[in-house]
Chains A and B, each alone.
Chain A
Amino acid sequence: MRAGRGMLELFRGLNIERIYFAIHRLTGIFLVLYIFPRPYLVLLSGSWEEALKLDMTPVGKILAIIFIFSILFHGINGLRIVLIELGLISGRSLRHPIKPIPALRTSRFHLMLIAATVILTIVGIVAGSYLVLYGKEHLLIGP
């Protein structure tokens, strides 16, 4: 008998890195499901404009908002991970006192990037949702 729940053990969420990891996976799956069918959609509908009409339906708009969030988060977090794996942004961990959350023990630069991911994603979602819901004409930056 094996302890634990295997794949269903999604949120043993104990720290912010783990939460980012989970969201990175979920957004990755969503992006695959959203982007891969699009060329087929275009071919099936006949032209690019026909496919875009699908995007203007309420369901399409909601999916578009989720898509913007997904691609922003996945992209920015992905870049952050690349920088970590290259060893460019992690500092030496503190030894004493032992803080419970590992992300808090590294360099300030690393912490700033974690925060930056969240902020950029939120800004992007707000702008994107606004665009999706109200269209280009209402933007202050004129045509």
Chain B
Amino acid sequence: MEILRYDLVIVGSGIAGLRAATAAAWASGGKISIAILSKIQAMRSHSLSAEGGMSAVLYPEKTNDSLELHAYDTVKGSDFLADQDAVQVLVEYAPKEVRFLERIGVPWTREPDGRIAQRPFGGMSIPRTTFAADKTGFFIMSTLFSETRRFDDIHIYHEHFVTKFIVENGLFRGVTAYDLRKGEFKLFYAKAGIIATGGAGRLYRFTTTAHSTTGETLGYALRAGIAIKDMEFVQWHPTALVPSGILVSEAARGEGGYLINKEGERFMKRYAPQKMELAPRDIVSRAILTECMEGRGFQHESGMCYVGLDLRHLGEERINKRIPFIRELAHKYAGIDALSEPIPVRPAVHYTMGGIYTDTWGRVLTADGKWIKGLWAAGEAAAVSIHGANRLGSNSLSECSVWGRLTGEQAAKYAMETPALLSPEEKLVEAAKKEEGRIFDTLLHKEVNAPSPYEVKRQLNDILEEHFGPFRHGSSMAEGLAKLMKLREYTSFRIADSSRVYNQNLKDALEIDGMIDLALVVGLGAYARAESRGAHYRLDHPRRDDVSWLKHTVAYLYGGEIKLTYTPVTITKWKPEERKY
């Protein structure tokens, strides 16, 4: 087992992780050593597929915009579950981040006079979404990755799968990882750590996320004593291609696309008469599914029901200039020419509002609010809670960049202030060796009676799709929870591949092991919350209950069981009101 010593270890290499690395490298002036660990090659993170844009108030005088308005839109969009002090931080730092990204080379689309262009987006009252054609996430991610190549003290470890967080007495000590390429086990002994591993879209089957967005790191965090917050809020993005689930960006609706049902009517006027297609995502998703359930949707050959996204009236030039990727995707994966037919779309899981319980500045907390010294979390993996119960489009790229920078700078400062690491103690090395034994010796032998990990994953997807979908009901969720508990009883899997080098079978099994824990957190939180708020909609409690449920769900592991507790929402300016669009 190899032992590597670093000042800062960043787990996950999406926009949040890479931004943290560059911020830490600059803030420390080259004095600390930074390692970025990614379970796939570092530049292939799922941040690449973000299409729409990054929201920020850039030119307040020219567009009649203000930081107040952005904050209010975000809080209202979150169905008043967002922590308002954190939202203030977001809107204040986001314009600085857009300008920083512009300075390191992101090709933002420009207006003819050289200003950065902004477009309207769902839930935003004034156009404030900056974009780079419709591949914003790709350009930000690839530019940030190239930027990390400037600093020699950032070491990137591709294809290192983190298996365990080592936390002792409320202090972060390091992580253990399985090196896929060489088939070795490594211990990363570090002063500080940042968790930026992204969301958990692959808990469901019909999702816009990549195969790698599994969220098992959140399950491992639970086992290390870290608390998970608000995991029951899962966002369905209204427009995903049928049948592959590939995302059709909200930008299509932002540029003026219409949603039409079988009879050709723009049905959104019945659900959100003022904003129409640009209402927040939970409202539009539920609208589409209601149309389908009431029989006004089209039927696909695979059995899925869908509605049409109509771009024909936008004209070829506008489509080619502003949303060319959508045209390409529709042509390739659905065989549709966007200029002459509507694109078949249906809601798919896109984002998880919940994540690791952190405070306003990204510090990771246990269930009783104590900071685990040296550990931060940023991006989709963290729930600072600025998105509350529903995220507005284009706020996520802002969040990743802002908290990437904040946690990177804090971690660098912390690493410079703590004394240098000597070799790790016996206890730590023993724990790491035990972990290696668990992975290589226990899990890696052919258990004939155990199920294949892919079988378990299929069952997990089925349970979540059926019992914890966009429309939930108490009795159905109870049934789902019982099934999940049965699934949790599997402690080992049948792994057919016995080699050590690049054993994807083992990696998949480890992923599914963590995903089952996370699915239980989703299920328990959803079952307990007896109201409908944002993306969590219950048919047996269809109203929002601010009296008893204006609080965050915090889940933690105690005595081998998942327990729930609650913390209040920080309200500074806007009291909850009715959410109508």
* Bound-complex Cα distance A96 to B324 (A): 8
Tell me, in angstroms, the Cα distance from A9 to B324 when the chains sit together.
36
How many residues on the B side are at the interface (Cβ–Cβ under 8 A)? 2
Interface residues of A in 69-104 (CB under 8 A from B): 95-96
Q: How far is the CA of A96 from the CA of B325 in the complex (A)?
A: 10
List residues of chain A with CB within 8 A of the CB of B324: 95-96
Give B324's nearest chain A residue, CB to CB.
A96
Least distance between B408 CB and chain A CB atoms (Å)? 35
Chain A residue, CB-CB nearest to B319: A96
Residues of B within 8 A of A96 (CB): 320, 324
CB distance from B501 to the nearest CB of A (A): 13
Closest Cβ neighbor of B331 among chain A residues: A97
Report B-chain residues with C-beta under 8 Å of the C-beta of A95: 324
Chain A residues near B320 (CB-CB < 8 A): 96
Q: How large is the interface on A (under 10, 10 to 19, 20 to 34, 35 or more residues)?
A: under 10
Tell me, in angstroms, the Cα distance from A96 to B320 when the chains sit together: 7
> Which residues of B486-512 are within 8 A (CB) of A?
none
A95 to B317, alpha carbons, bound, how many Å?
Answer: 13
Within the complex, the shortest CB–CB distance from B11 to chain A, in Å, comes to 32
Bound CA span A95–B133, Å: 13
CB distance from B446 to the nearest CB of A (A): 27
Within the complex, what minimum Cβ distance (angstroms) separates A7 from chain B? 28
Shortest distance between the CB of B8 and any CB in chain A (Å): 36
Task: List residues of B (533-575) whose CB comes within 8 Å of A's CBs.
Answer: none
Q: In whole angstroms, what is the CA distance A129 to B324 when docked?
A: 52
Q: Once bound together, how far apart are the Cα atoms of A95 and B320, in whole Å?
A: 9
What string of 1s and 0s marks CB contacts (under 8 Å) between B314-327 and chain A?
A: 00000010001000
Residue-wise interface mask of A (24-46) relative to B, using a CB-CB cutoff of 8 A (1 in contact, 0 not): 00000000000000000000000
> C-beta contact mask, A85-129 vs B, less than 8 Å → 1, else 0?
000000000011000000000000000000000000000000000
A101 to B37: give the CA distance in the assembly, Å: 38
Please provide the chain B residues from 289 to 340 with a CB less than 8 Å away from any CB of chain A in the complex.
320, 324
CB distance from B451 to the nearest CB of A (A): 34
Bound-complex Cα distance A30 to B324 (A): 48
**What sequence of 0s and 1s flags, for each residue 259-288 of chain B, a beta carbon within 8 Å of any chain A beta carbon?**
000000000000000000000000000000
Q: Which residue from chain B places its CB closest to the CB of A96 in the assembled complex?
A: B320
Separation of A96 and B338 alpha carbons in the complex (Å): 14
Min C-beta distance of B340 to chain A, whole Å: 15
Q: Which residue of B lies closest to A98 (CB)?
A: B328
| Complex-state Cα separation, A18 to B324, whole angstroms | 29
A129–B320 Cα gap in the complex (Å)? 52
- Distance of A95 from chain B, by nearest CB (Å): 8
Docked pose: A95 CA to B324 CA in angstroms:
10
Cβ of B135 to closest chain A Cβ, rounded Å:
13
Measured between alpha carbons, how far is A48 from B320 in the docked complex, in Å? 66
Cα–Cα distance between A95 and B327 once the two chains are bound (Å) = 13
Question: In the complex, what's the smallest C-beta–C-beta distance from A99 to chain B, in angstroms?
Answer: 13
- Measured in the bound complex, the distance between the Cα atoms of B320 and A19 in whole Å is 33
Within the complex, the shortest CB–CB distance from B82 to chain A, in Å, comes to: 39
Q: How far is the CB of B325 from chain A (nearest CB, A)?
A: 10
In the complex, what residue of chain A is closest to B321 when comparing beta carbons? A96
Among B33-77, those with CB < 8 Å from A are none
CB distance from A98 to the nearest CB of B (A): 8
Contact mask B95-135 → A, CB, 8 Å, 1/0?
00000000000000000000000000000000000000000
Tell me how far the C-beta of B327 lies from the nearest C-beta in chain A, rounded to whole angstroms.
8
- How far is the CB of A74 from the nearest CB of chain B, in Å? 40
CB distance from A97 to the nearest CB of B (A): 8
Docked Cα-Cα span, A95 to B325, in Å, equals: 12
Q: How far is the CB of A86 from chain B (nearest CB, A)?
A: 28
Q: B327's closest neighbor in chain A, by CB?
A: A96
Tell me the minimal C-beta distance from A21 to chain B in angstroms.
Answer: 29
Which chain A residue has the least Cβ–Cβ distance from B320? A96
Q: How far is the CB of B205 from chain A (nearest CB, A)?
A: 31
Taken together as a complex, chains A and B put the C-alpha atoms of A80 and B320 apart, in Å, by: 33
A107, chain B: closest CB distance, angstroms: 20
CA A95 to CA B135, docked complex, whole Å: 15
B421 to chain A, nearest CB (A): 39
The CA-CA distance from A132 to B320 in the complex, in Å, is: 56
Q: Produce 1/0 per residue, B326-360, CB < 8 A to A.
A: 00000000000000000000000000000000000
- Nearest Cβ in chain B — how far from A76, in angstroms? 37
Write the B128-158 contact mask toward A (1 if CB under 8 angstroms, else 0). 0000000000000000000000000000000
How distant is B132 from chain A, measured CB to nearest CB, in Å? 14
CB of A84, distance to nearest CB on chain B (Å): 27
Within the complex, the shortest CB–CB distance from B133 to chain A, in Å, comes to 10
| Min CB–CB distance B419 → chain A (angstroms) | 47
Complex CA–CA separation, A4 to B324 (angstroms): 35
Minimum CB–CB distance from A28 to chain B (whole Å) comes to 38
CB distance from B134 to the nearest CB of A (A): 13
Rounded to whole Å, the gap between the CB of B322 and the closest CB of chain A is: 12
Which 3 A/B pairs are nearest by Cβ-Cβ distance? A96-B320, A96-B324, A95-B324
A-B CB contact pairs (8 Å), 3 listed = A95-B324, A96-B320, A96-B324
